[in-house]
C-alpha cells in the first residue's frame, strides 16, 4: 500500500482499513460533506486499484467470465461487473469502462483480479495488466461522462436498474435515497495526481476525504466490495443486481446460484441501513455485532459493515443482518460509549423477493430458469 502524496497537505488525517493511504478528512469534515453534496468536490481515490485489459477479444472474454453483459460495451460507456465463485459468492467487483482499445477495471482487489483474469486467458487475444502503479483514480461529485478529449472516466450507475438487472428494494416505485448522488472516477497518470487535483482546487472545488465520500455512499445505500462483501456474500443480499448483474446473458461461473436465488429462493441475509443513536460521540467499529433483544435474551443477528457520521442524518451505518430480522425491531450495536440503539431503513426487503421474481416457477430441475445458454444444475440453494 502506497500513501498518497496528498496526505502531506495541511490538516490531512490518514484513514485506516480499506481506505488507508488516503485522507479521512482535511480538517473540516462537515464542510467537506456539504461541498460534496453541492457538486463542487474532488476526492483522492488513489488507493483504488486499476486493471487494464487489452486485445481484440477483451470484451467478449470479460462477458463470458463475469456477471455483466459487456460484450457490446461502447467506448465511454460505464457499468460494473462481478467475478463470482462457482457457488455464486462474490470474489471481485470492478467498475468498468472502455476507451475503444483498453477495458479499464477499477477495483479494490487489483492483484487478485488481475491474477484470476490472467489464468483465464487461454488462447484468446487478450492481455491483462495490474496498472495500479501507473494510474490513479480521482473521485468527482459529477454524474456526467467524460467529454471529448477528457481522461477515461467511469460514471457510477447506482442506483439505476441497468439492462438485465432487477432490485430487491421494498418499494422500487419510490424514489431511491441515492438518486441525487452524483459520482464518477477519473483515471489520471499517477505521477500527475497532485497536479490534477490542484487544478480542480484552483477552479473552486473543495478537496474532500473519505469521511465525506463514505457518508454519502452509506446514505445512498451503495454497497462496496471492501466493506460489505465477505466470503459468503451473494449479490442479492446487497441489492447489487441493480447495476452489476445481467440476469439474461450467457452462462458464467456462479450463474446457476444467481438464477436459483432470484427465481426460486431467497437470499439468507439482507443489507440494511442503521440510524444510530447520536446522543454519544462514539461510533461502532467495523465488524461490530448487531444485536436483537435485551439483556440475557440479546443475540447477534448481523454485523456492521460501514459506518460514518453524516452531516445531516447523524451517525449512520450499513449492516448485514439475517433476512428474518423484523424490520421494525430496534437493534443495538456496541461501541466504546456503550450500546447504541439502531433503527432500520430497509435496503433489501425482508421477504427476499425481487421486483420481477417469476410467479410459481414450478418444479426445480436441471437447467430450469438458469438463464440463456446454461443447462447445469446449480446445486442447493444457499442457506
Q: So where are the chain's domains? A: 5-228, 269-346
Q: Contact at 8 Å (CB) between 373 and 251?
A: yes
Q: At what angle do helices 210-219 and 29-37 cross, to 10 degrees?
A: 50
CA distances in angstroms from 111 to 132, 213, 329, listed in the order given? 9, 24, 41
Residue 314 corresponds to which cell in the numbers above?
A: 447523524
Three-point CA angle 329, 226, 299, nearest 5°: 30
Query: How far apart (Å, rounded) are the C-alpha atoms in residues 132 and 66?
Result: 21
pLDDT at position 140 is 98
Spell out the residues 6+ positions from residue 119 whose beta carbon is closer than 8 angstroms to its own.
none
Spell out the residues 6+ positions from residue 84 whose beta carbon is closer than 8 angstroms to its own.
67, 90, 91, 235, 252, 253, 254, 255, 257, 258
Segments in the chain forming alpha helices (H): 29-37, 58-65, 110-119, 193-202, 210-219, 225-228, 255-264
Query: How far apart (Å, rounded) are the C-alpha atoms in residues 144 and 162?
Result: 16
Q: What is the pLDDT along the chain (383 residues), one digit of tens a residue?
A: 679 999 999 999 999 999 999 999 999 999 999 999 999 999 999 999 999 999 999 999 999 999 999 999 999 999 999 999 999 999 999 999 999 999 999 999 999 999 999 999 998 999 999 999 999 999 999 999 999 999 999 999 999 999 999 999 988 889 999 999 999 999 999 999 999 999 999 999 999 999 999 999 999 999 999 999 999 999 999 999 999 999 999 899 999 999 999 999 999 999 999 999 988 788 999 999 999 988 778 899 999 999 999 999 999 999 999 999 999 999 999 999 899 999 999 999 999 999 998 876 554 444 445 555 564 444 456 76
pLDDT at position 1 is 64
Query: How far apart (Å, rounded) are the C-alpha atoms in residues 109 and 337?
Result: 34
pLDDT at position 372 is 52
Exposure of 246 in the CB half-sphere (CA atoms within 13 A): 20
**Radius of gyration of the CA atoms of the chain, in A:** 21
**Which pTM value belongs to this model?**
0.94
pLDDT at position 266 is 94
CATH 3.30.1360.120 at 5-228, yes or no: yes
pLDDT at position 285 is 96
Q: Is the dihedral of CA 157, 349, 176, 344 positive or negative?
A: negative
CATH number for the 269-346 domain, one of 2.40.30.110, 3.30.460.20, 2.40.50.140, 3.40.190.10? 2.40.30.110
**Phi and psi, residue 118, nearest 5°:** -65, -35
Bond preceding residue 184 cis, omega within 30 of 0: no
DSSP 376: S
The secondary element (H helix, E strand) that includes residue 315 is strand 314-322
Classified as helix, coil or strand, 67 is coil
Classified as helix, coil or strand, 153 is strand
Amino acid at each position: 500500500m502506497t500513501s498518497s502524496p496528498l496526505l502531506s497537505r495541511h490538516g490531512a488525517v490518514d484513514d485506516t482499513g480499506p481506505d488507508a493511504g488516503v485522507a479521512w478528512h482535511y480538517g473540516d469534515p462537515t464542510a467537506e460533506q456539504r461541498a460534496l453534496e453541492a457538486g463542487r468536490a474532488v476526492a483522492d481515490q488513489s488507493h483504488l486499484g486499476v486493471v487494464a485489459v487489452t486485445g481484440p477479444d477483451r470484451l467478449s472474454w470479460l462477458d463470458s467470465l463475469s456477471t455483466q453483459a459487456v460484450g457490446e460495451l461502447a467506448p465511454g460507456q460505464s457499468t460494473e461487473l462481478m467475478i463470482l465463485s462457482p457457488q455464486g459468492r462474490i470474489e471481485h467487483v470492478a467498475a468498468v469502462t472502455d476507451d475503444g482499445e483498453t477495458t479499464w477495471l477499477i477495483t479494490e482487489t487489483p492483484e487478485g483480479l488481475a491474477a484470476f483474469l490472467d489464468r483465464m486467458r487461454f488462447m484468446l487475444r487478450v492481455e491483462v495488466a495490474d496498472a495500479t502503479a501507473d494510474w490513479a483514480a480521482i473521485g468527482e461529485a459529477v454524474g456526467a461522462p467524460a467529454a471529448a478529449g477528457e481522461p477515461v472516466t467511469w460514471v457510477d450507475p447506482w442506483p439505476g436498474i441497468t439492462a438485465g438487472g432487477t432490485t430487491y428494494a421494498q418499494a422500487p416505485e419510490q424514489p431511491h435515497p441515492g438518486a441525487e448522488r452524483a459520482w464518477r472516477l477519473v483515471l489520471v497518470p499517477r505521477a500527475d495526481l497532485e497536479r490534477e487535483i490542484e487544478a480542480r482546487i484552483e477552479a473552486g472545488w473543495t478537496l474532500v476525504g473519505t469521511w465525506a465520500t463514505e457518508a454519502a455512499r452509506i446514505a445512498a445505500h451503495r454497497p462496496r466490495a471492501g466493506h460489505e462483501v465477505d466470503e459468503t456474500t451473494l449479490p442479492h443480499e446487497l441489492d447489487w443486481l441493480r447495476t452489476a448483474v445481467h440476469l439474461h446473458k450467457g452462462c458464467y461461473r456462479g450463474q446457476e446460484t444467481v438464477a436459483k436465488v432470484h427465481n426460486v429462493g431467497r437470499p439468507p441475509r439482507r443489507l440494511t441501513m442503521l440510524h444510530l443513536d447520536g446522543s454519544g460521540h462514539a461510533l461502532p467499529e467495523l465488524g461490530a455485532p448487531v444485536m436483537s433483544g435485551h439483556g440475557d435474551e440479546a443475540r447477534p443477528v448481523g454485523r456492521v459493515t460501514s459506518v460514518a457520521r453524516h452531516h445531516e442524518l447523524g451517525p449512520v451505518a450499513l449492516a448485514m443482518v439475517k433476512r428474518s430480522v423484523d424490520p421494525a425491531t430496534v437493534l443495538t450495536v456496541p461501541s466504546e460509549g456503550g450500546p447504541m440503539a439502531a433503527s432500520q431503513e430497509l435496503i433489501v426487503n425482508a421477504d427476499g423477493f425481487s421486483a420481477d421474481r417469476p410467479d410459481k416457477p414450478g418444479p426445480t430441475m436441471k437447467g430450469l430458469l438458469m438463464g440463456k445458454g446454461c443447462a447445469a444444475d446449480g446445486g442447493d440453494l444457499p442457506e
